[in-house]
């Protein structure tokens, strides 16, 4: 099977953080057949969409990687929207404007794919990807079978889904959106984009929010109150306009980012007694220092 593959490539070329060492094999399946072939024949691969919300080790990744961004077909019929795992949320958001379908406005500025968005139950501006979801088609990596799951079987919570707990890989999702007007939908998208421009880094390597919001609280507010906007380690520093973002401003390494995250975590814990949980995921070969930090930051 002729599947597009890159060998011995630098993951920083694909990472939104622009951080990451080499991976031996990086695969880009274009359809369900190719994707399932890889899932059946590669031992323990790492699977990503748009590489957003991900920190790769500067020492590389000792596993094969599958990227779904070319597995990206979608169809819209009346109010039903079906999308493969690799469709970018922003692409689907724009496509729905012409069909006057509302519900995906929040994804207009997202770099992530539908698979990643459902995996983490992505949300913003009082909308979530789970709001309009009907069902998903997944591949069970243990039974090697394709199964369908309705929304109520996905155990959605804040930044959580069953995909994080079970050996399930999302193949396709079906949504039912609500009718709106082009003007209303475009206005909401414009408002969301303007908000992001004011509060989030633009054109600077970053992976979005670093920590999840604690229950009934805001990670950004807590980090702001401890003065995190002044924090920096090596080539990584906290974004001056929002304390829950880290930017790679000067060739940062994965160790720089992890040490900075650990500093943020410790200061919040010390001042408020709250242990922040990372939203960003870390993958790759760890140094001894990284291993010690990860044991605390990414504890279950």
Would you state the pLDDT for residue 1?
A: 81
Q: Does 266 reside within a domain?
A: yes
Mean pLDDT on 170-196: 94
Q: Does 264 reside within a domain?
A: yes
Same-domain status, 82 and 190: yes
Average pLDDT, the chain: 95
Does 10 score more than 80 pLDDT? yes
Same-domain status, 170 and 246: no
Would you place residue 202 in the very low, low, confident or very high pLDDT band (cuts 50, 70, 90)?
confident
Q: Does 38 reside within a domain?
A: no
Write out pLDDT tens, residues 90-117: 999 999 999 999 999 999 888 889 999 9
> Could you give the residue numbers annotated as active site?
159, 209, 279
Structural domain including 116 reads 74-194
Question: Cβ(119)–Cβ(138) under 8 Å?
Answer: no
Does 39 score more than 80 pLDDT? yes
> pTM for this one?
0.93
Beta strands 232-233; 178-179: pairing state: unpaired
Strand arrangement of the beta sheet that strand 168-176 belongs to: 74-77, 80-84, 168-176, 133-140, 145-150
Write out pLDDT tens, residues 143-167: 999 999 999 999 999 999 999 999 9
Write out pLDDT tens, residues 119-130: 999 998 889 999
Would you state the pLDDT for residue 300?
A: 59
Domain final residue pick, 194, 227, 254 = 194
CATH number of the domain at 147, please.
3.30.465.10
Same-domain status, 142 and 181: yes
Percent of the chain with pLDDT strictly greater than 90: 90
Q: How many domains does the chain have?
A: 2
Rounded alpha-carbon distances, angstroms, from residue 33 to 56, 71, 140: 28, 10, 15
CA distance 48 to 114: 11
Which among 30, 27, 21, 29 has a CA at the least distance from the CA of 7?
27
CATH number of the domain at 231, please.
3.90.78.10
Enclosing H/E stretch for 101: strand 101-102
Same-domain status, 81 and 182: yes
CA distance 156 to 136: 13
Domain final residue pick, 141, 161, 194 = 194
Question: Cβ(246)–Cβ(261) under 8 Å?
Answer: yes
Domain final residue pick, 179, 194, 209 = 194
Question: Cβ(203)–Cβ(116) under 8 Å?
Answer: no
Mean pLDDT on 194-221: 91
Q: Does 16 reside within a domain?
A: no
């Amino acid at each position: 099977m002729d599947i597009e593959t890159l060998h011995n490539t630098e993951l920083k070329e694909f990472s939104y953080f622009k951080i990451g060492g080499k991976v031996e094999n990086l695969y880009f399946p274009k359809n369900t057949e190719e994707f399932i072939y890889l899932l059946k024949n590669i031992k323990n691969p790492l699977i990503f969409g748009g590489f957003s919300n991900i920190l790769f080790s500067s020492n590389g990744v000792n596993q094969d990687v599958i990227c779904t961004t070319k597995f990206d077909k979608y169809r819209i019929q009346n109010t039903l929207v079906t999308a493969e795992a690799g469709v970018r949320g922003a692409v689907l958001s724009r496509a729905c404007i012409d069909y006057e379908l509302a519900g995906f406005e929040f994804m207009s500025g997202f770099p992530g794919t539908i698979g990643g968005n459902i995996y983490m139950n992505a949300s913003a501006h009082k909308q979530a990807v789970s709001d309009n979801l009907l069902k998903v088609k997944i591949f069970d990596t243990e039974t090697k079978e394709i199964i369908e799951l309705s929304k109520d079987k996905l155990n959605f919570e804040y930044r959580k889904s069953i995909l994080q707990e079970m050996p399930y890989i999302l193949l396709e999702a079906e949504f039912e959106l609500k009718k709106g007007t082009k003007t209303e939908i475009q206005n909401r998208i414009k408002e969301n984009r303007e908000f992001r421009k004011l509060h989030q880094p633009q054109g600077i390597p970053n992976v979005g929010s670093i920590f999840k919001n604690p229950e009934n609280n805001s990670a950004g507010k807590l980090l702001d109150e401890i003065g995190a906007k002044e924090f920096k380690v090596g080539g990584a520093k906290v974004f001056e306009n929002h304390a829950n973002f880290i930017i790679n401003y000067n060739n940062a390494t994965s160790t720089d980012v992890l040490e900075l995250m650990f500093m943020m975590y410790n200061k919040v814990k010390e001042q408020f007694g709250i242990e922040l949980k990372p939203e960003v995921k870390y993958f790759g070969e760890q140094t001894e220092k990284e291993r010690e930090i990860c044991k605390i930051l990414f504890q279950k």
